[in-house]
Homo-oligomer: A and B are copies of this chain.
Amino acid sequence: MPEENYDSRKIDGRSLSKKLEEQIGKGVDQIQTENGITPGLATILVGADPASRMYVRLKHKACERVGIHAEDHNMPGHTTQEQLIQRIWELNTREDIHGILLQLPLPGHLDEKSAMFAIDPAKDADGFHPYNMGKLLIGEEGLVPCTPKGVIRALEEYNIPIQGKHAVVVGHSNVVGKPMAAMLINRNATVSVCHVFTDDLKKYTPDADILVVGTGVKHLIKADMVKEGAVIFDVGITEENGKVYGDVDFDNVVKKALLITPVPGGVGPMTIAILMEHVLMAARNSIL
């Protein structure tokens, strides 16, 4: 008997993001034609961390694909806080820049929070500014963190209902867990937030209709921890000997899942597509 093929259960983040980027590309064309505006993204990278450089490069490539003007502000590793803030202020005032992305982490001598807070909330492509996080919490979602927004978009694309479902979020970071929980609550899911201090993770995850895991713990979620028919998003990434692993033991968990994102090729591409969408959104808002 041939082994069962679970490919149809895989949420293909690459093709989802392609579809989304096509829509964004059309939106970019439209705002250029109708308003004479080319949406612009400025990325700020301090130092030369190889992983950060790669992430920035991926974002610039996406800009190219959808027609967004992208500027690379690569500042030296010894940049001072004042210099960084100065650069952010300059970008805040530039009319041709609609989105500003500060690539994290910053070198240790810099204060990430005050730098992030300096970004004009209207240009906060990453959605991390407190003003945007607060609007998210009260249900007025505008520019919001891209990764959880990508999860929501995927749920919509696959017509997975959220309201009344039990969503379990594992991880309570500011980048994924907390904004993810807020988005799911806003859509009337019953939401349980678990994390490293949770007493017994197995008490919660097997009840999840929708499970979102972002902890950075390789293969934390095993097959016996998920419900038959669950929809699972793996937001974790662990690198080991040049291979990347997610937080979910994919090969075994896929056998129980209705849908599941692989790592890589799952939420990653969606995150970047949402970032593009945010730059377009910010450009549109700038003409209101």
Contacts and interface: CB of A to CB of B under 8 A. Distances in A.
B185 A190 contact: no
Interface stretch (A63-71, A149-157, A191-199): A191-199
A147 interface: no
Contacts of A135: 130, 133-134
A192 B195 contact: no
Interface residues of A, number: 39
List of 5 A-B pairs having minimum Cβ-Cβ separation, nearest first: A134-B134, A130-B134, A133-B134, A188-B197, A192-B192
Interface stretch (A30-38, A171-179, A268-276): A171-179
Contacts of A191: 192-193
B164 A198 contact: yes
B139 A174 contact: yes
A190 B179 contact: no
A140 interface: yes
Contacts of A203: 207
24 contacts: A113-B140, A128-B138, A130-B132, A130-B134, A131-B131, A133-B133, A133-B137, A134-B134, A137-B179, A138-B174, A138-B178, A163-B197, A164-B197, A164-B198, A164-B199, A165-B199, A166-B199, A181-B181, A185-B195, A188-B195, A190-B192, A190-B193, A190-B197, A190-B204
Contacts of A172: 185, 188
Contact of A181 (B163, B179, B185, B194): B185
Contacts of A178: 137-138, 182, 185
A123 interface: no
A129 interface: yes
